[in-house]
């Protein structure tokens, strides 16, 4: 196990995640300054297009996977549009109607394909064609310079995107860790009948669902960074949403349907399952937060129980429902634990374990 020295925490994935907005702004400003110096010092013609491209490629994309995807689309759109624009300029020298006809046709084609999967590439191709060709009478040298500057800007943006990058896979796993930890703490309160005011419970579920939404938006970028499929990410998403739904139902059952004495009896009947749920949720959160897949050991079959194995005969309909929901939650948590363990090679830093800072996450999971 290799632990980072203290200075290494300043460039650790979690530090970058915590301060990614500031780091992103610094990275974009530094890239813009670099291009500005290059353009002015070497008097590059039409250099403004290089500046524009840097902002377009990395301006609003803090994740490395998103930047590579956007840069690739930008380059493809520039090449296609640039060739189309240069062809329009060449045609204009021989026939103005033919040049206009080609530009109109290309604009229509780019708009048609802009409604499909290659939407950004198609739209950018049409825009680039219009910029490069103008009315068809633009100087061909200027058109070549504009195209070259866009390509150079995209490559420079890619270079600066690798400077203290905020990886989408890290952002995704920290959102997942935050959700699992909050779900574990919420369940600890529910099982002890420690219910907060309804507004606080609603706020907790609002935060959990907001993180779920953010996780889904990261799927394309995550798949660009690591060889994990969108289907695997979706499976984790569905299990996570199922856990939140079951927690919500348990909260409703415990708060509104069960007497306190019956609730205490239910706690005693399924205490082992409840502790396993809580510890597994917090263990998954710890594993994701600190790159500790060893906290995700597969749960043993003998630790699982069936409804018939629990002394549920003395409970009423609501009590048996509470037991069923507890076992349902345990099954969901175990399946999510297995899924996260299987995906560990994708989100865990290879050969590097970042231990928790003093006083943060280092205590017992039962605390």
In terms of pTM, does the model score above 0.85?
no
Percentage with pLDDT > 90 across the chain: 28
If one counts the domains in the chain, the total is 2
Predicted confidence band at 332 (pLDDT cuts at 50, 70, 90)? very high
Q: What is the pLDDT of residue 294?
A: 82
Q: What is the pLDDT of residue 327?
A: 86
Q: Do residue 100 and residue 183 come from a single domain?
A: no
Averaged pLDDT for residues 114-124: 86
Q: What is the pLDDT of residue 350?
A: 43
User: Would you say residue 10 has pLDDT above 70?
Assistant: no
Angle in degrees, CA 156, 157, 158, rounded to 5: 90
Question: 322: domain range?
Answer: 168-347
Q: What is the pLDDT of residue 281?
A: 93
CA 293 to each of CA 108, 183, 283, 347: distance values in angstroms, whole numbers, following the listed order: 52, 19, 9, 10
Q: What integer best gives the mean pLDDT of the chain? A: 79
Predicted confidence band at 196 (pLDDT cuts at 50, 70, 90)? low
User: Would residue 206 count as lying in a domain?
Assistant: yes
Q: Which residue in the block uniquely carries the two structure tokens 């604009």? A: 107
Q: Do residue 179 and residue 273 come from a single domain?
A: yes
Neighbours of 278 (CB within 10 A): 20
Q: Do residue 26 and residue 153 come from a single domain?
A: yes
Domain end marker among 115, 139, 161 = 161
Q: Do residue 139 and residue 46 come from a single domain?
A: yes
Sign of CA dihedral 231, 233, 237, 240: positive
Give me the residues paired with residue 63 across strands.
166
Q: Do residue 202 and residue 343 come from a single domain?
A: yes
Identify the helix (H) or strand (E) that includes residue 175. Answer: helix 168-191
């Amino acid at each position: 196990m290799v632990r980072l020295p203290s200075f290494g925490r300043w460039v650790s994935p979690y530090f970058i995640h915590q301060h990614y907005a500031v780091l992103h702004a610094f990275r974009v400003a530094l890239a813009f300054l670099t291009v500005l110096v290059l353009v002015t010092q070497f008097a590059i013609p039409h250099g403004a297009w290089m500046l524009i491209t840097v902002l377009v490629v990395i301006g609003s994309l803090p994740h490395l996977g998103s930047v590579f995807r956007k840069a690739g689309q930008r380059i493809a759109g520039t090449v296609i549009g640039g060739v189309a624009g240069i062809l329009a300029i060449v045609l204009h020298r021989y026939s103005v109607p033919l040049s206009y006809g080609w530009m109109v046709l290309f604009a229509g084609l780019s708009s048609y394909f802009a409604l499909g999967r290659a939407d950004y590439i198609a739209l950018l191709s049409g825009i680039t064609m219009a910029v490069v060709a103008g009315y068809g009478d633009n100087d061909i040298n200027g058109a070549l310079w504009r195209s070259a500057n866009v390509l150079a800007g995209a490559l420079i943006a890619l270079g600066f995107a690798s400077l203290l990058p905020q990886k989408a896979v890290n952002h995704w796993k920290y959102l997942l860790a935050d959700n699992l930890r909050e779900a574990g703490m919420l369940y600890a309160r529910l099982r002890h009948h420690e219910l907060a005011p309804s507004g606080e419970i609603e706020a907790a579920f609002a935060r959990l669902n907001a993180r779920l939404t953010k996780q889904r938006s990261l799927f394309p970028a995550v798949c660009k960074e690591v060889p994990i499929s969108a289907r695997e990410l979706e499976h984790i998403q569905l299990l996570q949403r199922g856990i939140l739904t079951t927690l919500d139902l348990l909260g409703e059952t415990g708060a509104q349907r069960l007497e306190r004495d019956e609730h205490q009896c239910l706690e005693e009947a399924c205490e082992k399952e409840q502790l396993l749920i809580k510890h597994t949720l917090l263990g998954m959160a710890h594993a994701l937060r600190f790159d500790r897949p060893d906290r995700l050991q597969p749960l043993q079959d003998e630790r699982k129980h069936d409804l018939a194995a629990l002394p549920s005969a003395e409970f009423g309909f609501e009590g048996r429902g509470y037991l069923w929901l507890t076992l349902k939650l345990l099954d969901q948590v175990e399946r999510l634990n297995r899924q996260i363990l299987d995906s560990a090679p994708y989100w865990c830093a290879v050969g590097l374990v970042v231990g928790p800072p003093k006083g943060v996450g280092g205590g017992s999971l039962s605390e």
